[in-house]
Amino acid sequence: MLSISNLTVSAPVGSTNTLSITNTGTNTPLHVLSFMTIINGGAVSVTNSALQVDGPLGIDGNLALQPGAQVVATNAFTSIGFNLGATGQVVMTDGTAIFSRLIVGSNTLSVGTFTMNAGSLFVSSLFIGLGSNAVGSAWISDCALTVTNSFLIGERKTTGQLTLSNTTAHVRDISVAGSLESQGTFTMAGSTVTFSSGFTAGGTKSTGTVFVSDGQLTITNGNLSIGVNDGIGQMTITNGLASAPQLNVGFGNTQGQGTLTAIDSSLVISNVAAIGSGSNSTGTLWLINSQLQFTGVTNGILVPVGSGVGQVILSKNSSVSVGSAWLGTGGTLSIQSGTVSIVSNFSVSSKGTVWMADGQLYVSDGVMSMGQVTISNGFVSVPDALIASASAASTGTLAVVGGSFSACSSLVIGDCSSNAIGQVLLGGGALIVTNAGQPAFIDLQNGTLTVNSGSLITDKLVMTNSCGHFVKNGGSVVISTLQLDPALDADGDGIPNGYEQSHGLDPLDPVNATLDSDGDGQTDLQEYLAGTDPTNSASAFRITSVVRTGNDIFVTWMTGIGRTNALQVAPAAGDSVDDTRAGGGYDTNGFADVFTVTNTVGATTNYLDLGAATNVLSRYYRVRLVP
């Protein structure tokens, strides 16, 4: 062993001096008892030998660790690019390096580079880019990497970059551009990295970027957080696997922005995924032919939390399997292609949105409460659905313009007591609420169910609240059982449900207001108002007989039971003997009441107009329904 107190390797400007340590073996290291520096054109090459430094190791020149080399600096920091504006680099090929603190780019405006091809690297703390406006870069391939404490890439207004290739790493936690306007990039390809604590990309006023390809990133105890506290985080996984107890994309109280894109990959979360969590944060999770799977008992996905904005996008046959899901204000689930399977409840707040372009959405055992849900293609299947939550003044909308929506137990639209309003529009596709075991039902409590086209099929439709309305403009409607309040008007055509049902009319088709079912010249609405039978042409509100009886005229007319009628007269054109309204006609409003009958008890009534045959000239008679 050769021991020296301090060692500085340098050269005059424009020159290079190299210290070569070759074939001395690892049992007889060059032992530097205090500090060692490589500066000003200095270079050190270690081959099949060992270098031990007990104090700080500063590298502003070149350190080459060749096959069989071993370097140990465990008592103080090792800095690559440690002086102001200096440049330093370490190139290691198939050896072993053990550092306490390794800093790549440690001083203001310095540039540090660490390259390792094969071998093992053991570090207590690893910093890549730490000094103000410094640049740190590390490339590690075909290695074993262990970091037992802090791991920072880009801190304090620096730029840091780490690339792992075909490497196995065990790390406590990592921060990629964690704070203070830094830039950080972490790339791992064909590598397996295990974090025992957490992973953060994009901290306060910084931008962190992560690329994972053909590898596996595992967090055993902590969060995978992308974009936190005014930071911008971007993570892309291609042909890889990432797993963590909790996933945060767009996180914190001050406008964190996070984007996680998975391509041909898998995400495994054991607890919760929060997309857009915190005040004004924005999070996006994009799955492209990828899977998001939750494994914990209480697992769930929250999009977003608080006043943030979050969106989850599935495309190219991606899938999500989760215990429960919640879309809050500013939350969007867009299923362009793929499958979402939810074990328990799926809550979509009044300002949360689900877009179903294609694919499937399943809720196997719970309630789907809806804010805004649009299905243009694909399939949604739930046990129970609630359009608008039961909270006061909330609003929910379900629009089915293609594909289908199916509930095997119930579909409740709005809530009359809390003034929660539900709107369902069927403009194509199918809305199916049926069950072979026991009847499934639609309960239209507060809002409107509109059928423009497509097919509505249900075992039972319940409409017992005055604030529920059914509108049928087209399409096909198949309802096995109707439960209606007979005093209400489900289709809003002016005719009560009970009247329409008792006369064989469709209580859900507003066309009855203008339809003349019996062909007697009066619409079904007019017959209801008059109290006559709209399905019997012999029953109509009209004058049936005008007969002279001596000097009098005997007028008979048909009426409805319990109605009030007025018999009116008007002079014929040119007749004005006892009426100042000369020139009156049948089609004018110059009629005056001559008799009013109230609360009629039979199908016909009559009136004897005294002297009408001799004391007046010709006149018109008509009967009017009195409101």
pLDDT of residue 349: 85
Which H or E run contains 291? strand 291-294
pLDDT of residue 237: 98
pLDDT average per 10 residues of sequence, the chain (627 residues): 91 92 92 94 95 96 95 94 93 95 93 96 95 93 96 90 97 91 95 96 93 97 92 97 95 86 97 87 96 84 82 96 89 95 89 92 90 94 84 81 96 87 95 93 94 97 91 94 90 90 88 89 91 90 92 92 90 54 53 89 90 83 88
* 264-285 per-residue burial string, b: 16 or more CB within 10 A, e: under 16: bbbbebbbbbbbbbbebbbbbb
Query: Beta-strand (E) ranges in 40-133?
Result: 42-53, 57-59, 62-65, 70-80, 87-104, 111-128
Cα distances (Å, whole numbers) of residue 241 to 50, 87, 219, 337, 614 = 38, 36, 11, 21, 105
Mapped onto helix, strand or coil, the DSSP state of residue 188 is strand
Residue 113: closest CA among 70, 148, 76, 64: 64
Residue 320: closest CA among 375, 359, 365: 359
pLDDT of residue 582: 44
Does residue 599 contact residue 542 with C-beta atoms inside 8 Å? no
